[in-house]
Amino acid sequence: MTTERNAEPVYSDRIFTVPNILSVLRLIGVPVFLWLLLVEKADGWAFALLVASGVTDWLDGKLARLLDQSSKLGALLDPLVDRLYLLATLGGFLIRGILPWWVVLILVGRDAILTVTLGIYKRRDLPPPEVIYLGKAATFALMSALPWLLAGQMDWAAAGFGRAFGGAFLVWGTAVYVWTGILYLGKAVAVARAIPPVPHHDHAG
Protein backbone atom coordinates (compact mmCIF):
# COMPACT_ATOMS: atom_id res chain seq x y z
CA MET A 1 0.00 0.00 0.00
CA THR A 2 1.44 3.37 -0.97
CA THR A 3 1.38 6.37 1.31
CA GLU A 4 0.42 9.86 0.18
CA ARG A 5 2.78 11.86 2.28
CA ASN A 6 4.22 13.60 -0.73
CA ALA A 7 0.78 15.02 -1.48
CA GLU A 8 0.62 16.82 1.86
CA PRO A 9 1.63 20.49 1.89
CA VAL A 10 4.93 21.28 3.56
CA TYR A 11 4.79 23.79 6.41
CA SER A 12 7.76 25.35 8.15
CA ASP A 13 8.13 25.96 11.89
CA ARG A 14 8.62 29.70 11.38
CA ILE A 15 6.57 32.01 13.58
CA PHE A 16 7.54 35.53 12.53
CA THR A 17 6.27 35.61 8.96
CA VAL A 18 4.35 38.34 7.16
CA PRO A 19 1.17 36.21 6.87
CA ASN A 20 1.30 35.32 10.58
CA ILE A 21 1.71 38.98 11.55
CA LEU A 22 -1.36 39.82 9.45
CA SER A 23 -3.30 37.02 11.15
CA VAL A 24 -2.33 38.31 14.61
CA LEU A 25 -3.43 41.82 13.64
CA ARG A 26 -6.76 40.39 12.51
CA LEU A 27 -7.04 38.51 15.81
CA ILE A 28 -6.50 41.74 17.76
CA GLY A 29 -9.21 43.32 15.64
CA VAL A 30 -11.92 40.92 16.86
CA PRO A 31 -12.53 42.53 20.30
CA VAL A 32 -12.03 45.99 18.78
CA PHE A 33 -14.77 45.23 16.24
CA LEU A 34 -17.19 44.06 18.96
CA TRP A 35 -16.46 47.19 20.99
CA LEU A 36 -17.17 49.42 17.98
CA LEU A 37 -20.32 47.53 17.05
CA LEU A 38 -21.94 46.98 20.44
CA VAL A 39 -20.55 49.63 22.78
CA GLU A 40 -19.76 52.64 20.62
CA LYS A 41 -22.36 51.84 17.89
CA ALA A 42 -19.74 53.24 15.51
CA ASP A 43 -21.02 51.35 12.50
CA GLY A 44 -18.80 53.19 10.03
CA TRP A 45 -15.62 52.19 11.85
CA ALA A 46 -16.91 48.65 12.42
CA PHE A 47 -17.64 48.43 8.68
CA ALA A 48 -14.12 49.63 7.84
CA LEU A 49 -12.57 47.09 10.22
CA LEU A 50 -14.59 44.23 8.71
CA VAL A 51 -13.50 45.21 5.21
CA ALA A 52 -9.87 45.48 6.36
CA SER A 53 -10.11 42.01 7.91
CA GLY A 54 -11.40 40.56 4.65
CA VAL A 55 -8.61 42.19 2.65
CA THR A 56 -5.88 41.00 5.03
CA ASP A 57 -7.40 37.50 5.06
CA TRP A 58 -7.03 37.40 1.28
CA LEU A 59 -3.56 38.94 1.49
CA ASP A 60 -2.05 36.55 4.02
CA GLY A 61 -2.93 33.54 1.88
CA LYS A 62 -1.49 35.18 -1.23
CA LEU A 63 1.67 36.30 0.56
CA ALA A 64 2.19 32.87 2.15
CA ARG A 65 2.43 31.38 -1.34
CA LEU A 66 4.22 34.31 -2.98
CA LEU A 67 6.89 34.62 -0.27
CA ASP A 68 7.05 30.87 0.42
CA GLN A 69 6.13 31.57 4.05
CA SER A 70 3.58 28.83 4.69
CA SER A 71 3.95 27.73 8.31
CA LYS A 72 2.39 25.35 10.82
CA LEU A 73 1.32 28.30 12.96
CA GLY A 74 -0.26 30.00 9.96
CA ALA A 75 -2.14 26.84 8.99
CA LEU A 76 -3.73 26.87 12.45
CA LEU A 77 -4.02 30.62 12.99
CA ASP A 78 -5.63 31.68 9.70
CA PRO A 79 -8.75 29.45 9.89
CA LEU A 80 -9.01 30.12 13.64
CA VAL A 81 -9.14 33.89 13.09
CA ASP A 82 -11.63 33.38 10.24
CA ARG A 83 -13.94 31.48 12.59
CA LEU A 84 -13.52 33.98 15.43
CA TYR A 85 -14.35 36.90 13.14
CA LEU A 86 -17.34 35.08 11.76
CA LEU A 87 -18.65 34.07 15.20
CA ALA A 88 -18.01 37.54 16.66
CA THR A 89 -19.78 39.22 13.75
CA LEU A 90 -22.73 36.82 13.83
CA GLY A 91 -23.09 37.28 17.59
CA GLY A 92 -22.82 41.05 17.34
CA PHE A 93 -25.31 41.21 14.46
CA LEU A 94 -27.74 38.97 16.37
CA ILE A 95 -27.59 41.28 19.39
CA ARG A 96 -28.09 44.32 17.17
CA GLY A 97 -30.98 42.67 15.31
CA ILE A 98 -29.21 42.81 11.93
CA LEU A 99 -29.45 39.04 11.40
CA PRO A 100 -32.29 36.66 12.34
CA TRP A 101 -31.53 34.00 14.93
CA TRP A 102 -32.09 31.08 12.53
CA VAL A 103 -29.33 32.22 10.15
CA VAL A 104 -26.92 32.46 13.07
CA LEU A 105 -28.04 29.03 14.31
CA ILE A 106 -27.38 27.41 10.91
CA LEU A 107 -23.89 28.90 10.57
CA VAL A 108 -22.80 28.31 14.16
CA GLY A 109 -24.35 24.83 14.20
CA ARG A 110 -22.38 23.86 11.09
CA ASP A 111 -19.10 24.77 12.76
CA ALA A 112 -20.08 23.09 16.03
CA ILE A 113 -20.85 19.80 14.27
CA LEU A 114 -17.56 19.88 12.35
CA THR A 115 -15.62 20.64 15.53
CA VAL A 116 -17.04 17.44 17.05
CA THR A 117 -15.96 15.42 13.98
CA LEU A 118 -12.33 16.45 14.55
CA GLY A 119 -12.30 13.88 17.32
CA ILE A 120 -12.61 11.16 14.67
CA TYR A 121 -9.26 12.23 13.16
CA LYS A 122 -7.63 12.70 16.56
CA ARG A 123 -8.54 9.19 17.71
CA ARG A 124 -6.86 7.83 14.59
CA ASP A 125 -3.72 9.98 14.91
CA LEU A 126 -4.62 11.70 11.65
CA PRO A 127 -4.30 15.40 10.83
CA PRO A 128 -7.52 17.39 10.35
CA PRO A 129 -8.92 17.23 6.81
CA GLU A 130 -7.43 19.56 4.23
CA VAL A 131 -9.34 22.78 3.77
CA ILE A 132 -11.87 22.58 0.95
CA TYR A 133 -11.31 25.57 -1.32
CA LEU A 134 -15.07 25.98 -1.78
CA GLY A 135 -15.40 26.30 2.00
CA LYS A 136 -12.85 29.10 1.97
CA ALA A 137 -14.85 30.77 -0.80
CA ALA A 138 -18.02 30.43 1.29
CA THR A 139 -16.31 32.02 4.28
CA PHE A 140 -15.13 34.83 2.02
CA ALA A 141 -18.68 35.30 0.70
CA LEU A 142 -20.06 35.50 4.23
CA MET A 143 -17.33 37.89 5.34
CA SER A 144 -18.17 39.99 2.27
CA ALA A 145 -21.89 39.90 3.01
CA LEU A 146 -21.63 40.96 6.64
CA PRO A 147 -19.95 44.36 6.08
CA TRP A 148 -22.59 45.24 3.46
CA LEU A 149 -25.40 44.22 5.80
CA LEU A 150 -23.85 46.53 8.36
CA ALA A 151 -23.57 49.26 5.72
CA GLY A 152 -27.29 48.80 5.14
CA GLN A 153 -27.90 49.94 8.73
CA MET A 154 -26.09 53.22 8.27
CA ASP A 155 -27.68 56.51 7.26
CA TRP A 156 -26.17 57.03 3.82
CA ALA A 157 -27.12 56.92 0.15
CA ALA A 158 -25.95 53.32 -0.44
CA ALA A 159 -27.87 51.79 2.50
CA GLY A 160 -30.41 50.12 0.20
CA PHE A 161 -27.69 48.72 -2.03
CA GLY A 162 -25.83 47.46 1.04
CA ARG A 163 -28.87 45.55 2.28
CA ALA A 164 -29.59 44.02 -1.16
CA PHE A 165 -25.96 43.19 -2.00
CA GLY A 166 -25.23 41.86 1.49
CA GLY A 167 -28.41 39.80 1.49
CA ALA A 168 -27.55 38.15 -1.83
CA PHE A 169 -24.03 37.26 -0.65
CA LEU A 170 -25.44 36.00 2.64
CA VAL A 171 -27.81 33.57 0.89
CA TRP A 172 -25.09 32.31 -1.47
CA GLY A 173 -22.43 32.09 1.23
CA THR A 174 -24.74 30.29 3.67
CA ALA A 175 -25.79 27.72 1.06
CA VAL A 176 -22.18 26.92 0.10
CA TYR A 177 -21.08 26.99 3.76
CA VAL A 178 -23.68 24.36 4.62
CA TRP A 179 -22.81 22.30 1.51
CA THR A 180 -19.09 22.23 2.36
CA GLY A 181 -20.05 21.31 5.92
CA ILE A 182 -21.84 18.26 4.51
CA LEU A 183 -18.72 17.41 2.48
CA TYR A 184 -16.50 17.64 5.59
CA LEU A 185 -18.98 15.51 7.51
CA GLY A 186 -18.94 12.92 4.72
CA LYS A 187 -15.14 12.80 4.84
CA ALA A 188 -15.21 12.25 8.59
CA VAL A 189 -17.78 9.45 8.28
CA ALA A 190 -15.69 7.79 5.55
CA VAL A 191 -12.57 7.94 7.75
CA ALA A 192 -14.50 6.53 10.72
CA ARG A 193 -15.69 3.58 8.62
CA ALA A 194 -12.41 2.87 6.83
CA ILE A 195 -9.80 3.38 9.58
CA PRO A 196 -10.05 1.94 13.09
CA PRO A 197 -9.11 4.15 16.04
CA VAL A 198 -5.53 3.88 17.31
CA PRO A 199 -5.61 1.93 20.58
CA HIS A 200 -4.31 3.76 23.64
CA HIS A 201 -1.30 2.27 25.36
CA ASP A 202 -2.37 3.08 28.91
CA HIS A 203 -2.78 -0.60 29.78
CA ALA A 204 0.27 -1.88 27.88
CA GLY A 205 2.51 -4.02 30.02
Find the angle CA(183)-CA(51)-CA(84) to the nearest 5 degrees: 50
Instruction: Determine if residue 125 is left, alpha or beta; phi over 0 gives left, psi from -120 to 50 gives alpha, anything else beta.
Output: left
What per-residue confidence (pLDDT) applies to 81? 85
Question: Global pTM?
Answer: 0.75
Q: What share of the chain is helix, strand, coil (3-state, %, to 5)?
A: 75, 0, 25
What span, in angstroms and rounded, lies between the C-alpha atoms of 54 and 111? 19
Q: Using an 8 Å Cβ cutoff, are 80 and 57 in contact? A: no
pLDDT in tens, the chain (205 residues): 444 444 445 566 677 777 778 888 888 999 999 999 999 989 999 999 988 888 887 777 777 677 676 767 667 777 788 888 888 999 999 999 999 999 999 999 998 998 899 999 999 888 888 878 888 888 888 888 999 999 998 888 888 988 999 999 999 999 999 999 999 999 999 999 998 988 865 544 4
Q: Using an 8 Å Cβ cutoff, are 85 and 53 in contact? A: yes
What per-residue confidence (pLDDT) applies to 7? 46
What span, in angstroms and rounded, lies between the C-alpha atoms of 96 and 41? 9
What per-residue confidence (pLDDT) applies to 75? 72
Find the angle CA(53)-CA(184)-CA(192) to the nearest 5 degrees: 140
- Where do the domains of the chain lie? 12-97, 99-197
Q: Would you give the distance in Å from CA 77 to the centre of its chain?
A: 10
